[in-house]
Structure 1
Amino acid sequence: MPFSLQLPSEYGYVLTVASASFFVNTYHFVLSARARTGSGLKYPIPYATEEQAAKDPKAFKFNCAQRAHGNFVENVTPFLGALLIAGLRFPTASAACGAAWVLGRVWYAAGYTARGPAGRRGGFTISAFSDLALKVMAMWTGVQMVLESA
């Protein structure tokens, strides 16, 4: 059965937010690179050892920056998928939730890198709730499309 898809006129907001998330990755790269330089750890070492991090606050900060970046990489693909799918039916709400996610992830990165694991909580909370909303909207978009085609 043929299927046509029309993008809502507000879908540009969704694409703008999706594009903004690319710069969050760059921000993580900068934080990790600065922390690596400060710690003196050379490539290809991905993390300071537990002993190094316990003795050297700069090595600990590098580990926090690396982990924050790793967490972003783990979460950006599902975020983008949910954002792009949900935006088909709910472009403005999706863009708003997506913008909250992006801002939450910046806060998460800055907090985790500067203050360690406790510094990530505020950004995590914002990004987690907005991510959940996007996933619910994405699922509902799929359900609506299935019901319309039946």
Structure 2
Amino acid sequence: MSLTLQLPAEYGYVLGAATSFFFVNAYHSVQTGNYRKAAKVAYPNCYASAEQAEKDPSAFAFNCAQRAHANFMENLPTVITTLFIAGIKFPVLSASLGAAWAFSRVLYARGYVRKGPKGRYIGAAHTLFSFVLSLLSGYTAYSFVSPLW
């Protein structure tokens, strides 16, 4: 048995939302690099030491920027996969959720760096957006499998 998959005309919005993730990653990379330079944390060290971050606000800000970027990268594979899957059935909604996720990740990073760990909550809606994408993705997968039962 074969499956023919037709992408809706609006799937381009999904691709646009996914492309925005590359720019958010670039934003994170530049931000982290600038804070690394200001904190004088040499490569290959991923973070400033706890002692250094306690004494130096720029080292603390670097650690926050680095952690925000790492968190972005940890979540990106799941979000981009659910975006592509959910977009098959719900292209406009999925693209909107993907774009909102990208925007909230910028807010998350900015808040984290400026106010420390508690500042990241300004962009915490990314969790909701990724959860809804996961649900839509599951429904999309189910809709392809259920006719086979």
TM bin, normalised by shorter chain, reads over 0.9
Is 1:118 equivalent to 2:118 in the alignment? yes
Matched residue, 1:102: 102
Kept after mapping to 2: 8 A contact 1:53/1:60: yes
Q: Structure 1 regions of 5+ residues with no counterpart?
A: none
CA distance, structure 1, for counterparts of residue 148 and residue 90 of structure 2 = 19
Matched residue, 2:146: 147
CA distance, structure 2, for counterparts of residue 44 and residue 15 of structure 1 = 34
* 1:91-150 deviation per Cα after TM superposition (whole angstroms, max 9, x unaligned): 0110111111011001001111121111110202x1011111000000000011111233
Kept after mapping to 2: 8 A contact 1:101/1:130: yes
TM-score normalised to the size of structure 2? 0.97
Matched residue, 1:30: 30
Give the letter aligned to residue 143 of structure 2: Q
Matched residue, 1:135: 134
TM-score normalised to the size of structure 1? 0.97
CA distance, structure 2, for counterparts of residue 87 and residue 136 of structure 1 = 12
CA distance, structure 2, for counterparts of residue 69 and residue 143 of structure 1 = 33
State the identity %: 47
Give the letter aligned to residue 10 of structure 2: E
Aligned residues: 149
CA-CA distance at 1:21 after TM superposition: 0.5
SS of the aligned residue for 1:45 comes to coil
Kept after mapping to 2: 8 A contact 1:31/1:113: no
Give the letter aligned to residue 63 of structure 1: N
Give the letter aligned to residue 112 of structure 1: Y
- Kindly report the root-mean-square deviation, in angstroms, between the aligned alpha carbons of the 2 structures: 0.8
Q: Structure 2 regions of 5+ residues with no counterpart?
A: none
CA distance, structure 1, for counterparts of residue 147 and residue 126 of structure 2 = 31
Runs of 4+ residues over 2 Å off in structure 1: none
SS of the aligned residue for 2:120 comes to helix
